[in-house]
């Protein structure tokens, strides 16, 4: 399993705050919310064009093992299927309470279906 590059992750709190303040398109599922926000591209460098992802999991989901499993699955789906996500967009994945009981395959299918809707 490979890691996402730093340029593929939302890391600053200001990046997460943009989802709250600016208009976003959202896909609400039973087990997660996927929000999309178009990034303003200043240059045409590689880092400006690749999609980025941020993951939010609260303690209501389950214990640390469950939350870390959800994060691993989401990152792996994003890494392997980055072509399904639009270029120069930021995505925020918010896990809801029902996701802890779902299998990895169900989570993967739900994320890919949501990515098609955005």
pLDDT at 87 over 80: yes
Residue 1 lies in a domain: no
**Distance separating alpha carbons of residues 69 and 111, to the nearest angstrom:** 15
Domain region containing 10: 6-117
Kindly report the CATH number assigned to the domain that includes residue 102: 3.30.230.10
Length of the chain as a residue count: 118
**Total structural domains in the chain?**
1
Residue 32 forms beta bridges with which residues?
95
pLDDT digits (tens, 9 = 90+) for 4-61: 888 888 889 988 888 888 878 888 888 999 998 888 777 666 666 788 999 999 999 9
């Amino acid at each position: 399993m490979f890691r996402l590059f730093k340029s593929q992750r939302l890391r600053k709190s200001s990046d997460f705050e943009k989802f709250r303040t600016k208009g976003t398109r959202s896909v609400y599922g039973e087990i997660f919310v996927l929000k999309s926000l178009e990034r303003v591209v200043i240059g045409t460098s590689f880092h400006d064009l690749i999609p980025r992802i941020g993951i939010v999991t609260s303690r209501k989901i389950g214990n640390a093992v469950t939350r870390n499993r959800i994060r691993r699955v989401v990152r792996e789906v994003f890494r392997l299927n980055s072509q399904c996500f639009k270029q120069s967009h930021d995505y925020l994945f918010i896990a809801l309470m029902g996701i802890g009981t779902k299998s990895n395959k169900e989570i993967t299918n739900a994320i890919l279906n949501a990515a098609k809707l955005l």
